[in-house]
Structure 1
Amino acid sequence: MRDDAPDSGFGTERAADFAGVPDAFERLWTPHRMVYIDDEDRSGERSGCPFCRAPGLDDATGLVVARGVHAYVLLNLYPYNSGHLLVCPYRHVATYDEASDEEVAEMASLTQTAMRVLRDTSRCDGFNIGMNQGAVAGAGIAGHLHQHIVPRWAQDANFFPIVARTKAVPRLLGEVRDELAAAWPAAL
């Protein structure tokens, strides 16, 4: 949106409307993510960490796709794309350098398997894989290490998220979880 354009009413605000030097960036507010921020206390520990809670639930309720010894895979409750997975250690550690060698190795192995399963089940064309370390780096849940695996398809980006505040996710989470869990190879 240009500085002289009217507010679209879709949660964006013009930088020129605020004190300071305008930076020409739009701001897209995502208040639904405050549930993660509000639950974190000042020490960085989480009283209701969803990544600590999920493994204690049955797999369907916790959206758990696969379980390892040191880490597990679950669907993202707020996916960027259908099949958006997270790989988490069971242990509540905040950053990659705090994870044990065993946790790191298993997270890597689970990530590789997740890529194969997603490619086989969804026919995706590629992946975004990454970790945001700390709240300042964009981690929605900064207190518990997690790696994102986002399947991507040619032409999967569109105007819905920007213009209509809508993300097109064509399949239900439970349906995707069931399909991925069924396709996950048995433990060796």
Structure 2
Amino acid sequence: MSEAPEPSVEDARGFAGVPDSTQRLWTPHRMAYIGGQDKPDDPDDAEQCPFCSAPGRDDEDALIVHRGEVAYVILNLYPYNTGHLLVCPFRHVADYTELTEAEVAEVAALTRTAMRVVREVSSPAGFNLGMNQGEVAGAGIAAHLHQHVVPRWMGDANFLPVVGRTKALPILLADTRAMYAEAWPA
């Protein structure tokens, strides 16, 4: 019986930018985020948590758009797209199943209102909504639950970040926060 040949491993460095059946997309600009820039040293320490510290700061400085009773809306400091909002409970809680009924209701209501406000101000064609539960699921700050509200426009996913190592955000975060906060219903 003959031995099976050793499997060969291709060097993937030559594949960047070469289309094939898997259509790889290289996003080196995300490495600072993936590497943990600005993440707390101890994710379970609420004092280090950016979602716990933000409500203790001025809304403009913290990029908070709206404060509710048990949750609030804040702009994402590392947005996937212009106008990327996060809906967070004030309480330091990691898992959706640990939310109180009041927190579940307000996170849902604030998400709906955020979509309405963003539609009014920015006219997106659609949205991505979601929660990444756990670090393995993509949660950048896994210890504090947050709902993503990401406005989307036709053609907004271009190759500028890959080719030019640049993400084009046509408006400053502070200006976006001000417009959304002003449009938020009383």
User: What do residues 132-166 of structure 1 show as CA deviations (whole Å, max 9, x unaligned)?
Assistant: 00101110001100010000011111001222221
Query: Does the alignment pair 1:158 with 2:158?
Result: yes
Which residue of structure 2 lines up, in the alignment, with residue 167 of structure 1?
A: 167
Which residue of structure 2 lines up, in the alignment, with residue 35 of structure 1?
A: 37
Q: Which has the larger radius of gyration?
A: 2
Which residue of structure 1 lines up, in the alignment, with residue 108 of structure 2?
A: 108
Is the deviation greater in 120-129 or in 157-166? 157-166
Shift of residue 40, structure 1, vs aligned partner: 3.8
| 2:83 counterpart SS class | coil
Shift of residue 173, structure 1, vs aligned partner: 0.4
**AA in 1 matched with 2:146:** H
Gapped runs of 5+ residues in structure 1?
Answer: 9-22
1:131-146 to structure 2, matched below 5 A, reads: 131-146=131-146
1:87-98 to structure 2, matched below 5 A, reads: 87-98=87-98
Shift of residue 48, structure 1, vs aligned partner: 1.2
**AA in 1 matched with 2:127:** F
Structure 1-normalised TM-score? 0.82
Consecutive aligned runs of 4 or more in structure 1 exceeding 4 Å deviation = 23-29
Matches of 1:3 and 1:136 in 2, distance apart? 24
Identity %: 56
Structure 2-normalised TM-score? 0.83
Q: Retained in 1: the 8 A contact 2:47–2:53? A: no
Gapped runs of 5+ residues in structure 2?
Answer: 1-10
Alignment size in residue pairs: 169
**AA in 2 matched with 1:122:** S
User: CA-atom RMSD, angstroms?
Assistant: 2.3
Query: Does the alignment pair 1:127 with 2:159?
Result: no
